[in-house]
């Protein structure tokens, strides 16, 4: 799985197995009891969680703030600098003071909608103990912090080229740009995603030594495996990376040496033998699999180019029915195109829950912001309202469904509110004519390059699309 927008939250609340919240405490009550007394902007992820792209040496505290560079010199001297960067330390100071770091805008937008909406900083904080959060708030902001949850990508190797992704996270996207050139006539904030091969995302050839990967394995083998609660591996498609199998082999050879849980993001566009190879290593450490999909059949295949629906569905059944996983999770990247069948897709996931249990799969709804022209908010009011109303109908029908987790219902409601109230994906995306230009320009070229047809895949938007 690839892209900052599709990298999911590292959290155990999705399984319902570990929940620091008090019995029967709601997400809002937890926020008011734990976070608000510490700080109006406190988020445990800024201390205890990191996403690190080892191919490019970039990091962020979660999947919402834009990533920033980690110094090579710093990680050679101190592998913990992969996480404890000067930028993160400055943002910790702001949170301790009750101020809002600008990069965390996604959560502020959700919270400022009102309606008691719960932002991701609450979900990301409630996986840590109250004592951990209190300790973080009291620490000197310059002090290095040991990670509890970590998300890494070894490289960008991937056989998919999803529409909302880009060459920074997919080698198939790299091939598209190399073979067909840049996408032309784009004007909005997303234009640079599709104009070059993002070579800075893969600084080192696969035959070269990568100091960031070296730093990770040094940190891992020294003490990270002793302190880390959960490690999530993303990509690209991580099961196409030899570094993943090296790590899994470490667990197999050192069974019991680490209590770290492993979570792997996979597009599940793999042969059955690859899934079985993975399951063969599932006895070495608690294992969760995260995948990403947000629409049905032809629309899923349109959005997530490279996906074969039948392969994805087969692998979902293989994993859900294996009895070897701690959890199976689906991350919905909510974009302009998926809304047409999102309610039906969520009902499809409920059928899995009915067959295999409420955690097989659980799901999250992560709202796409970049590139802005693929955001749900790029749609005209009438289409967005139509989709909002259909999603509300789905929510009303399923609000009492015991197979659904609290966070699944909460995130559905916040998406409904987001579609109703929020007008722009982020503060710099406000020029609707540019967004519509880029929507039409991008998908017109996407269709030619990928042998697809927008109007056939999305009939409810065809008239509007043709008129752009």
CATH number of the CATH domain containing 40: 3.20.20
In a domain, 42, yes or no: yes
pLDDT of residue 394: 98
In a domain, 304, yes or no: yes
In a domain, 188, yes or no: yes
pLDDT of residue 12: 39
In a domain, 6, yes or no: no
pLDDT of residue 19: 52
Query: Per the structure block, which two tokens stand in for 259?
Result: 């209590």
| Residue 207, domain extent | 27-466
Are 152 and 220 contacting, i.e. CB atoms less than 8 angstroms apart? no
pLDDT of residue 249: 92
In a domain, 22, yes or no: no
In a domain, 186, yes or no: yes
The rounded distance, in Å, linking the Cα atoms of 218 and 213 is 9
pLDDT of residue 150: 94
Total-model pTM:
0.81
In a domain, 134, yes or no: yes
pLDDT of residue 327: 94
Q: How many domains is the chain partitioned into structurally?
A: 1
In a domain, 309, yes or no: yes
Return per-residue pLDDT of the chain as tens, 468 residues.
443 333 333 343 333 334 567 777 888 888 888 888 999 899 999 999 999 999 999 999 988 888 999 999 999 999 999 999 999 999 999 999 999 999 999 888 888 887 678 888 888 888 888 999 999 999 999 999 989 999 999 999 999 999 999 999 999 999 999 999 999 999 988 788 899 999 988 988 878 899 999 999 999 998 899 989 999 999 899 999 999 999 999 999 999 899 999 999 999 999 999 999 999 998 888 999 999 999 999 999 999 999 999 999 999 999 999 999 999 999 999 999 999 999 999 999 999 999 999 999 999 999 998 899 999 999 999 999 999 999 999 999 999 999 999 999 999 999 999 999 887 776 666 688 999 999 999 999 999 999 999 999 999 899 999 999
pLDDT of residue 80: 92
pLDDT of residue 9: 37
């Amino acid at each position: 799985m690839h892209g900052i927008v599709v990298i999911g939250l590292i959290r155990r609340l999705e399984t319902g197995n570990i929940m620091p919240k008090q019995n029967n405490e709601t997400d809002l009550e937890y926020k008011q009891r734990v976070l608000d007394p510490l700080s109006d902007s406190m988020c445990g992820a800024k201390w205890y969680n990191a996403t690190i792209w080892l191919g490019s040496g970039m990091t962020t505290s979660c999947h919402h703030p834009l990533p920033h560079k980690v110094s090579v010199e710093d990680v050679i001297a101190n592998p913990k600098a992969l996480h404890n960067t000067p930028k993160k330390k400055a943002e910790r100071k702001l949170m301790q003071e009750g101020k809002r770091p600008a990069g965390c805008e996604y959560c502020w937008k959700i919270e400022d909608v009102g309606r008691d909406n719960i932002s991701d900083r609450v979900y990301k904080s409630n996986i840590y103990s109250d004592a951990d959060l209190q300790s973080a708030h009291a620490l000197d902001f310059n002090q290095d912090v040991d990670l509890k949850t970590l998300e890494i990508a070894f490289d960008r190797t991937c056989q998919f080229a999803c529409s909302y992704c880009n060459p920074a996270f997919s080698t198939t996207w790299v091939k598209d740009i190399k073979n067909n050139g840049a996408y032309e006539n784009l004007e909005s904030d997303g234009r640079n995603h599709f104009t070059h091969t993002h070579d800075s995302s893969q600084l080192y050839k696969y035959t070269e030594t990568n100091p960031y990967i070296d730093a990770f394995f040094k940190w891992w083998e020294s003490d990270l495996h002793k302190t880390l609660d959960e490690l999530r591996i993303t990509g690209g498609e991580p099961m196409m990376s030899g570094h993943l199998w090296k790590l899994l082999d470490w667990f197999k050879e050192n069974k019991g040496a680490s209590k770290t849980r492993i979570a792997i993001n996979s597009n599940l566009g793999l042969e059955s033998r690859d899934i079985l190879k993975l399951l063969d290593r599932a006895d070495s450490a608690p294992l969760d699999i995260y995948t990403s999909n947000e629409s049905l059949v032809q629309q899923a295949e349109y959005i997530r180019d490279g996906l074969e629906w039948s392969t994805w569905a087969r692998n979902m059944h293989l994993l859900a029915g294996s009895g070897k996983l701690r959890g199976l999770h689906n991350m919905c990247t909510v974009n302009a195109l998926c809304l047409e069948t999102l309610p039906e897709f969520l009902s499809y996931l409920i059928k899995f829950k009915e067959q295999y249990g409420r955690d097989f799969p659980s799901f999250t709804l992560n709202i796409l912001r970049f590139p802005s022209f693929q955001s749900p908010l790029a749609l005209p009011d009438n289409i967005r309202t139509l989709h909002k109303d259909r999603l509300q109908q789905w929510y009303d029908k399923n609000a009492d469904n015991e197979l659904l987790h609290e966070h699944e219902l909460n995130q559905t409601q916040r998406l409904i509110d987001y579609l109703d109230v929020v007008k722009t994906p982020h503060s710099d995306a406000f020029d609707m004519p540019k967004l519509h230009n880029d929507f039409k320009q991008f998908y017109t070229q996407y269709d030619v390059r990928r042998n697809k047809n927008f109007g056939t895949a999305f009939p409810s938007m065809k008239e509007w699309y043709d008129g752009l």
